[in-house]
Amino acid sequence: MYMTTSNNQGTVLLVLDMQTKMMETSSDAAMLLNNVEKAVGAARAAGIPVVYAALSFRSGYPEIPSYHKAFTPIKNNGMFLETDDTTGIHPRVAPLPGEPVVFKKRYSAFSGNDLDIILRAMKAEHLIITGYSTSGVVLSTVREAGDKDYVLTVLSDACADNDKEVHEVLMKKVLTRQAGIATTDEWVNAITK
């Protein structure tokens, strides 16, 4: 469950891989966008910083070796280039000026960028996790953030996976080892008391 402080100090909302192209492939895009939009709005209203992470590669994909099982199809299909409009954050949950966006090269939001430096500069202690997909960026980010000693809350309905069974197993049996699990409404109610 979500733990709160009186002023939400040290809390940061992470919005992970909520990119236009990702939403085109999500079977739950409408529900996911609604809940992430609600979480982002509530965080901003409560003075909680919002930080974004997105998948992005350079032209020619020098970051992806030819044998990489997960990312070779991305390379072969010319997806998630830093110059491609569909790589951007979906307009419904897009960052405001001044909200940091980091670009990652693997599943974890911490991979190949300065996310941890940004969070430490913000004096972040508690990360609220949202994003797509549960079995990709959410799982990898929770694992790495837990190892970095952040307190974690995953908003179960502000995350989605095309495999609903995998999403449920991760939320009920795996992520609970390192994170509290709450719904978006539970979290919004907790920070607006």
Residues 38-69: tens digit of each pLDDT:
999 999 999 999 999 999 999 999 999 999 99
Query: Coil, strand or helix: which one is 159?
Result: strand
Q: What is the pLDDT of residue 26?
A: 87
Q: What is the pLDDT of residue 5?
A: 52
Structural domains in the chain, CATH included, are: 11-191 (3.40.50.850)
Instruction: Give the distance from CA 50 to its chain's centroid.
Output: 10
Is the pLDDT reported for residue 6 higher than 90? Answer: no
97, two tokens: 């000026």
| Cα–Cα distance, 128 to 68 (Å, whole number) | 30
